[in-house]
Structure 1
Amino acid sequence: MNHLEEIVSHWQQLNWDKKLSKVFGKYVHLIGDQIEVLKNSREKTSIWKLVMTDGSEYFPIVLKIFKVPLKENQMLEINMYARAYSVYHEYMPKLYWLEPNEDTQEIWMVTEYVKPLRGQIKLVPQHLGRIIPTIAKFHAQSFGNRFSQHAHLFDTSLPQFDSPEVRKKGMEYMEKTRQYLDEAMKDPNLKELVEPKYKAIRKILKKGPLFFPELIEAGQCLIHGDLHVHNICCKNASDDGEWDIQLIDWESVKYGSCWYDLVILVEILIDFRSDWQKNEEQIRTRCVRLYAEEMKKHGITFKEDPLNLLKKAYLQRTLEKKLAKHLQRALNGQKSALLKRYLEKVVVWGEELGLI
């Protein structure tokens, strides 16, 4: 469903005011002229911000509409709300309702609207210290053997970092990386950037697809999988007090190394923020230390230097997929804000960590 008029029409036909009145415990109704589209993709999902009222208070909600047949990533998010919400609700917006719409061959999910962190506050490195404790608590809940207590909430569709399927995909992407590196060496716009790193990266790729088994040995857990600032929400973001962090967009959830989430939250953010890069070593060290301290509070320690685990997860993630995607983007004439950083860090950290 892609148009506002359709939303309002089906909302009325399916009596959603009545359904949500049961949830809120009082009569509420939709304010028809306060509907905002947050995302609209005919092939995937559409996301709408709506406002309910009881006449005196206002209750912002999110309506997320999934197209049927569902894609694998859509099934993962629906499962998080339909089955795993009882365990992980602390880290998620409140679920108000979830049901199929048979008339439109869609699934409608209604949740609480929580303000995205982005837009509330200008993010500075110190703010990561407000986010990391929540992420550590989330990871610790299913870390290692603890996941067995929650395994019944997930089916075989939950991606596993060390599964044969993931390794096979990693090998396919690495073959593409080799191909794209060769093409880049023939491209006058890319050769100067790629050539100094070409031989080293080709040598590193021979050691895949699992470059660092110690990432598995260090312990795995349920991870969000796409932990960038757009997917982090907070009711009360300010420079004072603790933040009540909740995460949205659970379509990339998987069972894997906890350090993958830290890579996206910390390291990829550093890669994008040129103004942070002059202090990047200090920022990542402080974040990794805080994360390790928070995990220790939950009974989890790491035998290997946590900073090395972050770097290994960054390299594994980059080499198994991301470098190929950004090389392809550059070869297609599109801008890639990360390609230069990927090339540089793969070689520098690859040598530091024994891949070269």
Structure 2
Amino acid sequence: MSTKEEIVSQWDHYKWGKKLEPVFGKNILIKEETIECLKNSREKTSIWKITISNQTETFPVVLKIFKPPLKENHIVEINMYRKASSIFQEFMPKLYWIEESVNKGEIWMLSEFLPLIRGQIKLTPEHLYQIIPTVAKFHALTFEKRILDYKETLDSWVPLYNSVMMAKERVLHIEKTREILDLSVNNDILREKIEPKYDILRKIYSKGPIFFPELLEAGQCLIHGDLHLQNICGKFDLSNENSATIQFIDWESAKYAPCWYDLVVLVELLIDFRKDWHKKAEDIRSNCAVLYSHEMRKYGITFSEDPVKLLKMAYLQRALEKRVLNHLRRVMRGEQSKLLNRYLDKIELWGKELDLY
């Protein structure tokens, strides 16, 4: 993991103060006492908040350090900033500088600091209704054939849900899920959860890996892939429904995939985590799905399937192809899983509703 001292040393060595002058003016200095580590992910990436000054004003800046060897998701995020920021600038922080080959292969990226909505507000469903129009506007840019307008920029590095590699991964994950389901009925920790649903799960998993072709037929686009609260920045004014300014950070999971996947993370997983929302879940789910469909219609995109049905399909597809496996493994390791019971209950309930068994 990098240190404050190393950041100051590299700042001086690479003369970033000089390189940032076109953005912030002359005489750019780093304020050493303000350097703060925001996140360190298994020593593969670290994220820092630094403050710089032009001796008149101060500016918060994010420094993200990618350590070699770079994973595919790191390459995706770097390319989102380096190659695609001109396309999606409205939806993401500004890139200030990328320095390659720091410390024998590290990539250091300096970008705009945006305030997270988490910590600013106590999130209500009404806030979701202000976020969803931005999600729809982002999706509409690359929906289906529209992505061809950006083929030269995106083609070589954006992961494709329908690619041979990702299709093989889905098959492998489902095979491993079946194996763990068989082990689970003999596992003291998992038996109580799995045994009552075992036959249903085995029947459903026999239908994969694409459980709902309707999702692909509904359309694909570039999705963020991880739209939880810690990746959403912005400002709200609930008295003015058109006033929200929303942007997204942490683009490592971006891919060309079914558009409804982003709604799963933004809406349905949030409902799962928010117990105080469970009683009104149907209303929240319906309002969000219908609003998203309405917003997409503004850009000439319509869905033939019921929006709530598509959201439920996307939730189950996403859960079945990988998430159930991840959470089963977590519990078998003796760790906690807040989502496994929700996944299993919804697979049983919605699986029947959507004719999976």
TM-score, structure 2 normalization: 0.96
Tell me how far apart the structure 1 counterparts of residues 274 and 350 of structure 2 sit (CA, whole Å). Answer: 19
Aligned residue number for residue 246 of structure 1? 247
Deviation, 1:285, is: 0.2
Deviation, 1:155, is: 3.6
Instruction: Judge conservation of contact 2:93–2:113 (CA < 8 Å) in 1.
Output: yes
Instruction: Judge conservation of contact 1:226–1:264 (CA < 8 Å) in 2.
Output: yes
Deviation, 1:22, is: 2.2
Deviation, 1:69, is: 2.8
Matches within 5 A, 1:210-221: 210-221=210-221
Aligned residue number for residue 349 of structure 1? 350
Tell me how far apart the structure 1 counterparts of residues 73 and 155 of structure 2 sit (CA, whole Å). Answer: 13
Aligned residue number for residue 77 of structure 2? 77
Deviates more, 1:217-226 or 1:18-27: 18-27
Aligned-partner residue type, residue 141 of structure 1: L
Q: Is 1:202 aligned to 2:202, yes or no?
A: yes
Deviation, 1:339, is: 0.4
Instruction: Judge conservation of contact 1:215–1:312 (CA < 8 Å) in 2.
Output: yes
Aligned residue number for residue 325 of structure 2? 324
Tell me how far apart the structure 1 counterparts of residues 317 and 270 of structure 2 sit (CA, whole Å). Answer: 17
Q: Is 1:127 aligned to 2:146, yes or no?
A: no
Deviation, 1:42, is: 5.6
The DSSP-based 3-state class of the residue aligned with 1:27 is coil
Deviation, 1:268, is: 0.6
**Which whole-Å deviations, capped at 9, do the CAs of 1:95-124 have from their partners, x for residues lacking one?**
111121444421111111001111111111
Deviation, 1:27, is: 2.9
Aligned residue number for residue 93 of structure 2? 93
Aligned residue number for residue 311 of structure 1? 312
Deviates more, 1:103-112 or 1:282-291: 103-112
Aligned residue number for residue 54 of structure 1? 54
Deviation, 1:125, is: 1.2
Instruction: Judge conservation of contact 1:2–1:40 (CA < 8 Å) in 2.
Output: no
Tell me how far apart the structure 2 counterparts of residues 90 and 253 of structure 1 sit (CA, whole Å). Answer: 16
Aligned residue number for residue 39 of structure 1? 39
Tell me how far apart the structure 1 counterparts of residues 332 and 183 of structure 2 sit (CA, whole Å). Answer: 8
Aligned residue number for residue 291 of structure 1? 292
Aligned-partner residue type, residue 268 of structure 1: L
Aligned residue number for residue 189 of structure 1? 189
Aligned-partner residue type, residue 258 of structure 2: S
The DSSP-based 3-state class of the residue aligned with 1:150 is helix
Deviation, 1:240, is: 4.2
The DSSP-based 3-state class of the residue aligned with 1:275 is helix
Deviation, 1:84, is: 0.6
Q: CA RMSD in A?
A: 1.3
Aligned-partner residue type, residue 12 of structure 2: Q
Instruction: Judge conservation of contact 1:121–1:238 (CA < 8 Å) in 2.
Output: no
Matches within 5 A, 1:136-151: 136-151=136-151
Aligned residue number for residue 4 of structure 1? 4
Tell me how far apart the structure 2 counterparts of residues 257 and 288 of structure 1 sit (CA, whole Å). Answer: 14
**Which whole-Å deviations, capped at 9, do the CAs of 1:280-335 have from their partners, x for residues lacking one?**
00000000111111101111110111111111111110000000010111111110
Aligned residue number for residue 118 of structure 1? 118
* TM superposition outliers: structure 1 runs of 4+ over 4 Å: none
Deviates more, 1:279-288 or 1:25-34: 25-34
Aligned-partner residue type, residue 76 of structure 1: V
The DSSP-based 3-state class of the residue aligned with 1:8 is helix
Instruction: Judge conservation of contact 2:126–2:238 (CA < 8 Å) in 1.
Output: no
The DSSP-based 3-state class of the residue aligned with 2:49 is strand
Instruction: Judge conservation of contact 2:102–2:108 (CA < 8 Å) in 1.
Output: no
The DSSP-based 3-state class of the residue aligned with 2:20 is helix
Deviates more, 1:39-48 or 1:287-296: 39-48
Report how many residues are paired. Answer: 355
Tell me how far apart the structure 2 counterparts of residues 257 and 180 of structure 1 sit (CA, whole Å). Answer: 27
Unaligned 5+ runs, structure 2: none
Tell me how far apart the structure 1 counterparts of residues 164 and 216 of structure 2 sit (CA, whole Å). Answer: 14
Tell me how far apart the structure 1 counterparts of residues 261 and 103 of structure 2 sit (CA, whole Å). Answer: 40
Instruction: Judge conservation of contact 1:47–1:63 (CA < 8 Å) in 2.
Output: yes
Aligned residue number for residue 167 of structure 1? 167
Aligned residue number for residue 176 of structure 1? 176
Aligned-partner residue type, residue 179 of structure 2: Q
Tell me how far apart the structure 1 counterparts of residues 71 and 189 of structure 2 sit (CA, whole Å). Answer: 37
The DSSP-based 3-state class of the residue aligned with 1:166 is helix
Aligned residue number for residue 66 of structure 1? 66
Instruction: Judge conservation of contact 2:127–2:236 (CA < 8 Å) in 1.
Output: no
Percent identity (aligned): 55
TM-score, structure 1 normalization: 0.97
Tell me how far apart the structure 2 counterparts of residues 143 and 75 of structure 1 sit (CA, whole Å). Answer: 22
